[in-house]
Chains A and B, each alone.
Chain A
Amino acid sequence: MNIRIYSWGLLVVLIGGWEAFTRLSGLSSLVIPTPSAVVEVLWGGLTIGYLWPHIWITTIEMLLGLSLGCGIGFLCGVLLEENGFLRRLLWPYIIASQVVPKLALGPLFIVWFGFGMTSTVVITALICFFPLLENTLTGLHHIDPQKRELFRMLGATRLQALLRLKIPSGLPVIMAGVRVAVVLALVGAVVGEFIGGRSGLGASIIAAQGMMDSSLMFALFIIITLLGMIFYQATIVLERWLLSNHLKGSDP
């Protein structure tokens, strides 16, 4: 596609402009490093290998937090949708807990779980929990009433209606929640590390800040961005695969 070429061209222009600006403006490299310096740091970090453990840790934290948060969020969504009493009972609390900025709980988690991976995973899971809960509830709730009646007419049990009607029908909405959760999981993991991490990409940013190494900070931004894009693309592939039957015959 032509537009792809223009997209890449724009990137080249932006980076070239950045390089030219930093070289010509005489700003200190502490404020804005040149792209070439950033690439040099990035390349060094990857080839010498000191960045890899951090990438690995952030990835693990993100994956753990994402799967815990999504799993629990989905199960709670199913439970609340199936049990109207529980839903009405807990709804105000769910709203209240959703409004609480989860990252503000970081210091408390450090008190509970100590510095390191556990608190970051818990924060990430908590952030991923709500989009899944909300989208599962919405997805399972908005089922064509005639299809509900069809399942009643066919004598389906509640479990059958859940597994064979509600979850498959709600899957597109649930997967949209997963996509939101993936983006939030990266924010959760990185910011969680800002607060209580010893290692990982977020902790490395704080360390680079301490050394006023802005080239390293930019290098880390690039890695985080790439990590996010890989995860997002993987989610889209997963979604296409899960929804392949939903989408057959229509243009995805």
Chain B
Amino acid sequence: MSFVAIDGASFAYQGGGDVVDRVDWTIGEGEFHCLVGRSGCGKTTLLKIAAGLLPPTQGSVHIQGLEVRAPKSQIGFVFQTPTLLDWLTVMDNVLLPVSLKRAVRPGDRDKMSELLSLMGLDGLTARHPFELSGGQQSRVAIARALITEPLVLLMDEPFAALDAITREELQDDLLHLCDMRKTTVLFVTHDIAEAIYLGDRVAVMEQGRIRHDQIVDLARPRDHDVRFSAAFNAQCLEVRKAMNNPVTEKSTP
């Protein structure tokens, strides 16, 4: 049985056409899937449907066989910007999901310290977001999403604003963390190389539909050398060609 199942999900804003158009997609437990597409192709909307933030106008999303109708604590979401609360310390930001539910226990603090050291943020717990670099802020945002140990992690271009080197470091740390915890991930990006590097499977989305579905059979764990291998480039090229869909070129003005 699939872990995450999106069945015929559609979404339309009132009075507009379908932003997401009858998408079917399944993710197996512990798999890392990437969703690639141009801006405005509906990938963020699909992610929000999967998160329960937007109700699909048609179709449904199931996680472990249960329908998602509203945000749940077993789903973690990482936004395009770190969305840290400026007036809280790193520690309080990471513990926010817990403190909104109940009083913070010593066990939560231990878990937070462990997560922060895994993310390479030792010694920064008392800092405020202002005092962190962009990469560090993204790391805090990921730690915050993982503190409740979600089964599924949904990520919406979390590294888009970072420089290339920082992005590569974060990609490696993210892969490591998700591999350790067997977290199931749906990762939205517009960066083809990022999608291939991270994903077990890559979907190309266009005009609200999945146009292309590609299994990335590169060995894991992946390291920097993979990025320069012929197999990697071949995978990227395949996605790139799928994005050159003549249907869109005709319809874009």
B87, A245: Cβ atoms closer than 8 Å: yes
Q: Give CA–CA (A147, B88) in the complex, Å.
A: 14
Q: Residue A150 at the B interface, CB < 8 A?
A: yes
B131, A155: Cβ atoms closer than 8 Å: no
Q: Which residues of B contact A146 (CB under 8 A)?
A: 79-81, 83
Q: Which residues of A contact B128 (CB under 8 A)?
A: 245, 248-249
Interface locus among A32-40, A77-85, A160-168: A160-168
Q: Which residues of A contact B97 (CB under 8 A)?
A: 154
Q: Residue A28 at the B interface, CB < 8 A?
A: no
> What are 27 A-B pairs with beta-carbon distances under 8 A?
A144-B81, A146-B80, A146-B83, A147-B83, A147-B85, A149-B48, A149-B77, A150-B77, A150-B79, A152-B71, A153-B51, A153-B53, A153-B77, A154-B96, A154-B100, A155-B72, A155-B100, A155-B101, A160-B100, A169-B85, A245-B128, A246-B86, A246-B87, A248-B128, A248-B130, A249-B127, A249-B131
In the complex formed, the residue of A with least CB distance to B96 is: A154
> Which interface residue of A144, A151, A248 has the most chain B CB atoms within 10 A?
A248
Q: Residue B207 at the A interface, CB < 8 A?
A: no
Q: Give CA–CA (A150, B156) in the complex, Å.
A: 12
A245, B86: Cβ atoms closer than 8 Å: yes
Q: Residue B57 at the A interface, CB < 8 A?
A: no
A165, B85: Cβ atoms closer than 8 Å: yes
Q: Residue B73 at the A interface, CB < 8 A?
A: yes
Q: Give CA–CA (A123, B169) in the complex, Å.
A: 61
> Which interface residue of B75, B85, B131 has the most chain A CB atoms within 10 A?
B85
Q: Which residues of A contact B79 (CB under 8 A)?
A: 146, 149-150
Tell me the smallest distance from the CB of B71 to a CB of chain A, in Å: 5
Interface string of A163-190 (1 = CB under 8 A from B): 0110011010000000000000000000
A249, B130: Cβ atoms closer than 8 Å: yes
B71, A153: Cβ atoms closer than 8 Å: yes
Tell me the smallest distance from the CB of A155 to a CB of chain B, in Å: 6
A144-B83 contact, Cβ under 8 Å, with A152-B71, A248-B130, A249-B130: yes
Q: Residue A156 at the B interface, CB < 8 A?
A: yes
B87, A168: Cβ atoms closer than 8 Å: yes
